[in-house]
Amino acid sequence: MQELININEYPVKDMLPMLLKDKTTKCNIIFATDAYSGSKHNITAKTQITPYLLQGFDSCEIQPRVSKTAEEQNERTRKKAEVFTPSWICNKMNNHCDAEWFGREDVFNIEKEHAWETTTEPVSFNKKEDWKKYVDSRRLEITCGEAPYIVSRYDAATGERIPVNQRIGILDRKLRIINENTDSEKDWIKWTIRAYQSVYGYEFQGDNLLIARINLLITFVEYMNDRWNRNPSDDELRKVTNIIVWNFWQMDGITGTVPFGKPQEEYHQMSLFDFAVGINDTEPESLNCKVYDWRSNESITYSSLRKG
């Protein structure tokens, strides 16, 4: 099977240090899985993911779940209830959400058992400017894994690639709407940025989260190539990557906090006082995860959203 992601190629290689950042801890995201404990680098669940660990000789190979062995897949399902949803089910559920939003069925495609047929006519709205409301409408994929409900570069269950004009993810639908309602590259970029600002997802395991972020970044490149026949500039890549890193974050979904609590300083110098009070034996401090409200231009805690 052809490689679905490659961290040593454009655009991932250029943005990898940014893609690994955790906006809450101001460190890197952590592995949060023991799947890489056999590495010579002595990786634990609390180890931060760095470019050094991912690139070059003796690197940790991070690939979508479908590329892993059956044994690895079963182990992750057993330990973390990790099950990746086929695209036809993602499509069915996304279609249901859109039927609620539009008040009608078959807006983006017509379901055909375990497949779909994409509609060819531009999507119509009740009012001329309603397409902007659709692009701005916020969507969150909980425990997002590789984010198959948000972007559908490939079928998460089979690894089969999906052409741009056949994709069914939430962000894919927004980008289709933007393609149909913008004429200039400037407007296309403006509304594509807003579309990225409107989709969110959180995930516990760091390798899944990194893949989700990569899938969103590559999606941006693929749609720009498809629409304008060019790659994004470095500034455009950095801007979108920053949004992705804010909007797709690492979290324990039950507590709303960073997995395993606040990370220790990497090079903390222990003092006699530290040993006396047993500071190294205490439970890590809980750290509420931060997300970004792009319309009000401020960061907020995810927990505050539960209060309305």
CA 159 vs CA 5, 163, 181: distances in Å: 11, 13, 31
Q: For residue range 209-258, what is the model confidence (pLDDT) as tens digits?
A: 999 999 999 999 999 999 999 999 999 999 999 999 999 999 999 999 99
Q: For residue range 31-76, what is the model confidence (pLDDT) as tens digits?
A: 999 888 877 788 999 999 999 999 865 677 887 866 555 545 555 5
pLDDT in the model for residue 275: 44
Residue owning tokens 């110098």? 269
Residue 125: CA count within 13 A, CB half-sphere:
14
Q: Is the pLDDT of residue 278 over 50?
A: no
Q: For residue range 146-161, what is the model confidence (pLDDT) as tens digits?
A: 999 999 999 998 999 9
pLDDT in the model for residue 90: 97
**Structural element, H or E, at residue 201:** strand 199-203
Which residues, other chains included, contact 229 with Cβ-Cβ below 8 Å and sequence gap of 6+? none
Distance CA 300, CA 296 (A): 10
Distance CA 84, CA 143 (A): 11
